[in-house]
A = this chain, B = another copy of it.
Amino acid sequence: MKHDSSLLVRALRGEATERPPVWFMRQAGRYLPEYREVRSRVSFLELCHSPELACEVTLQPLRRFGFDAGIIFSDILLPLEAMGADLTFNPGEGPRIHNPVRDRGGIAALKGIDPVVDLPSPLAAITMTDAAAGVPILGFAGAPFTLACYLVQGGGSKNWEIVKTMMWQDPEGFTDLLNKLADVVAAHLQAQVEAGAAAVQMFDTWAGALSSEDFRRFALPAAQRAFRGVKGPTLYFTKDSSPFLPWLAETGASAIGLDWRTDMARARAHLGDIPVQGNLDPIALHAPPEEVAAMTRRVIAAAGQKGHIFNLGHGCIPSTPVEGVQASVDAVKGWSW
């Protein structure tokens, strides 16, 4: 494989690296002036569906900061669109699905997809970006439970009450939905690997809406099913890692992404030799640069030398200061074990 000796792939194999590789979730985004320039010309979905523009915005933070990996610019909801969801992103209101799935009929009507035919844009973008970037490119997808959240609720939600009500009223039907989504996620991730992604990350952003019991009953088996269909290094991230630490080793992922609340030493104790990714508080980038550097070094020291990918514990936000990103990347690159 092309990037076998990269810091990223070595850390994903659990090897000791001279310093951790570094990339940031949502490193391509609104905090960058050059990204805002591109977005002033096209809508969010147009950007996702244009391989040339997706490649361009994926490369922007690599050029500016020298990250050790890029993550392809795309959105976790694109596979739902390909499955039949009527998806829009209107400024200020976030994603909306205008034909949410609310019953077994809706689940049965969802289309399976062949990613090469039905969702070619991210694949073309990955191939193009991998050819242009000197570093590994990551692909990604939403985890089945998180996709089910949007598909059933019809958009973002604080409490996901429609999703959970369906889950408890008809657990068998909801499990069918998760399985259907898991198979699409697996195919989508595997196609990204074949298109040139050096690794793929599954975002289970909303698993933290669940109790530990329901996580084990619904989200975890669905994530496992999706990972079984992928041949290549994989990462699993959920925005709430700590409640599920005793079970995260069972996801089947090559590495576990940790949120910023999670104490690194506790995570290591639970995960054993499984590589970890994270977990600087994303808002820490707002701190004075010398403080950013100190917090960055404390994360590295706590994680240890083996199998650690430095990242934020969640994504960059629109107010993330460019100077904070640079200070953290520089501190990682200046580290030496």
Interface residues of A (CB under 8 A from B): 159-161, 164-165, 168-169, 208-215, 240, 242-246, 259-263, 266, 279, 281-284, 286-288, 291, 298, 313, 317, 319
Contact = CB atoms under 8 A, between A and B. Distances in A.
Contact of A281 (B164, B279, B281): B164
A281 B214 contact: yes
A168 B291 contact: yes
B261 A240 contact: yes
A230 B211 CA distance: 32
A296 B246 CA distance: 23
Contacts of A266: 212, 246
A288 B169 contact: yes
Q: What's the number of copies of this chain in the assembled complex?
A: 2
B243 A262 contact: yes
Contacts of A261: 208, 210-212, 215, 240, 243-244
A105 to B, nearest CB: 20
Nearest to A302: B213
B165 A286 contact: yes
Contact of A211 (B168, B211, B243, B281): B281
Contacts of A291: 168-169
Contacts of A160: 283
19 contacts: A159-B283, A159-B317, A161-B286, A161-B317, A164-B284, A164-B287, A168-B287, A169-B291, A209-B283, A210-B281, A211-B260, A211-B281, A212-B261, A212-B262, A240-B240, A242-B243, A243-B259, A243-B262, A246-B266
A212 B263 contact: yes
A127 to B, nearest CB: 35
A164 B212 contact: no
A261 B282 CA distance: 22
Pairs A-B, 4 closest by C-beta atoms = A168-B287, A243-B261, A242-B242, A212-B263
A92 to B, nearest CB: 14
A128 B73 CA distance: 59
Nearest to A170: B288
Contacts of A164: 281, 283-284, 286-287
A319 to B, nearest CB: 6
A313 B159 CA distance: 13
Nearest to A292: B168
B243 A288 contact: no
Nearest to A266: B246
A133 B215 CA distance: 39
A319 B162 CA distance: 10
A300 to B, nearest CB: 14
Contacts of A288: 168-169
Interface centre among A159, A211, A245, A262 (most CB of B within 10 A): A211
A168 B262 contact: no
B298 A213 contact: yes
B287 A169 contact: yes
Contacts of A317: 159, 161
Given A168-B284, A213-B298, 17 more contacts: A159-B282, A161-B319, A165-B283, A165-B286, A168-B286, A168-B288, A208-B261, A210-B281, A211-B261, A211-B284, A212-B261, A213-B263, A240-B240, A242-B243, A242-B245, A243-B259, A243-B263
